[in-house]
Amino acid sequence: MLQTELAYRINGGEPVVGQITALGAKNFATKAMVAALLADTPSELINVPPIGDVAITRDMLAAIGVDVQVQGETMRIDPARIRSSSVPIPDSGSNRIPILLLGALLHRFDEVAVPVVGGCKIGERPVDFHLTAIEQFGGTVTTTAQGYVARRAGRLRGTQITLPYPSVGATETCLFLGVLAEGRTVIANAAVEPEISELITLLRAMGAVIFTSAGREIKIEGVARLSGARMPILGDRIEAASWACLAGASDGDITVHGINPNNLGNFLAHFQQVGGGFELLDRDTVRFFRRTRLSPAVVETDVYPGFSTDWQQPFAIMLTQANGISIIHETVYENRFGYLKALNQLGANTQLTTHCLGGLPCRFKDKGHEHSAIIVGTTPLRAEGHVITIPDLRAGLAYIIAAAIARGTSIIRGVHLLERGYGDVVPRLSRMNLKIERVPFNALR
């Protein structure tokens, strides 16, 4: 059956003012669901967001026999009756999770097959670190046209791994492999994003023995079994930063609940430097507003604790309202500026270059990728029924911010991509006086 394509219609141009709660973080919720498969007993996750990526992950787990029960924001995952080690792509789609399932399920089965990974097209996104890690733990991996098959003979063995780059996903794969492997595992050059710290806490609550140190090194003493645990999902720091940028870009005033400001790290410094302001109202409530006229910035995305690659899109929209020339150098993904071209239709003045602008040369130097952006402001944005199509999830929220500050009506297509990572967008934004509707695209023509 053909599904009706839905689009957002936004009438912008007014400051966005109000209160919003950051939902549970997509990039931890889906990983916690995988972690639950390492246990012998059920786990319970609280504050699970109602988003597409969680639904896709739930459908993958259900397809191999995991019992997943959802009641409101609580999810109970019982892996006791997993019956298949061959993960299909469910009707709901694919995401980045299959490659994590490959390592996690390899403790339970001596052969595991997963499909090729999906997720946003923001670069090549190879999975070589994951595959090498499985081999270092004593498994073998075959790549097929459909996906990956991992095998093992006997229990996986702890190992010493130095990741070529502090990849979030590869660190997660190493954690999943190490906690139940025989003996000690050392992961050097590991990712240290807040979602990784949360995953370590969850695995410890399940019985894993994991030591972290001041550098990017994680030591694991493998255990024979893990039991289920109960854990709330932390508030989404990417959502929270996006609402901050919405306040800054629209000259509004937004109070975000459900966010630990420590997890916003250097975002808060950059936000203040360009003229944003914030106030800590309580331990997990932050009010964001514009303190002064916005000024330009030079920003380089990086792994944590650097400025997250997932923050650059909403920040770029705010920079269109800053007086002068700003630069963003994207060093994590080689192709994450696709969204800027459509913004120029609304009146922004942006340009992409293949050079490493503003900072040190990065991994993408001289490779021909347009990974630096120049944004010239201030440019008032205007929409006259413009239709813009979302290229990837984070760009989707950036388009909402652009449409919110643009005078006139914007139509945003491709909202299913955005809804993979953001839940209840329309009701939550409507409560902050943004004129946004979710309508069939056909009805708009």
Could you say which residues in the range 252-291 bind ligand EPU, by CB under 6 A? none
At 131 the three-state DSSP class reads: helix
| Separation between Cα atoms, residue 422 and residue 23, nearest integer Å | 8
Q: How far is the CB of 389 from ligand EPU (least distance, A)?
A: 17
* Dihedral pair phi/psi, residue 9, rounded to 5°: -110, 125
- Token pair for 437: 């509707």
CA dist., res. 396 & res. 381, Å (int)? 17
| Plot region of 356 (φ>0 → left; ψ -120 to 50 → alpha; else → beta) | beta
Residues belonging to the active site: 120
**What is the per-residue binding string for ligand EPU in 129-148, x denoting contact by CB under 6 A?**
xx------------------
Residue found under tokens 């733990």:
137
Single residue of 20, 29, 104, 127 touching ligand EPU by CB under 6 A: 127
User: Any contact of residue 168 with ligand EPU (CB under 6 A)?
Assistant: yes
Residue closer to ligand EPU (CB basis): 10 or 170 = 170
Site residues (CB under 6 A) for ligand EPU, limited to 392-421 = 393-394, 421
Beta bridge partners of 231: 45
Beta carbons within 10 angstroms of residue 243's beta carbon: 29
Q: By CB under 6 A, is residue 96 in contact with ligand EPU?
A: yes
Cα 170 from Cα 104, distance rounded (Å): 12
- CB contact burial 324-351 (16+ within 10 A = b; e otherwise): eebbbbbbbbbbbbbbbebbeebbbebe
Contact 238, 307 (CB under 8 A): no
Give the residue with the Cβ less far from ligand EPU, 167 or 350.
167
Q: Helix/strand/coil (H, E, C) string of 332-400? A: CCCCCCCCHHHHHHCCCEEEEECCCCCCCCCCCCCCCCCCEEEEEECCCCEEEEEEEECCCHHHHHHHH
**Site mask for ligand EPU (CB under 6 A), range 295-314, x = bound:** --------------xx----
Pick the stretch among 163-171, 209-217, 287-295, 340-348 that binds ligand EPU (CB under 6 A).
163-171
Short-list 177, 240, 254, 211, CA closest to 49: 240
Q: How far is the CB of 17 from ligand EPU (least distance, A)?
A: 27
At 171, which helix (H) or strand (E)?
Answer: helix 168-179
| Stretch of 35-43, 123-131, 152-160, 215-223 contacting ligand EPU, by CB under 6 A | 123-131
- Residue span 188-227 as binding mask against ligand EPU, x where in contact by CB under 6 A, dash where not: ---x-x----------------------------------
- Output 127 or 202, the one with its CB closest to ligand EPU: 127
126 forms part of the interface with ligand EPU (CB under 6 A): yes
Q: Pairing state of beta strands 209-212 and 218-221?
A: antiparallel
Nearest-CB residue for ligand EPU? 169
Q: At its nearest, how many Å lie between ligand EPU and the CB of residue 190?
A: 11
| Using rule CB under 6 A, residue 339 touches ligand EPU | no
Q: Which of 148, 333, 339, 399 binds ligand EPU (CB under 6 A)?
A: 333
CB of 30 to ligand EPU, least distance (A): 6
Residues that bind ligand EPU (CB under 6 A): 26-27, 96, 120, 123-130, 165, 167-170, 191, 193, 309-310, 332-333, 393-394, 421
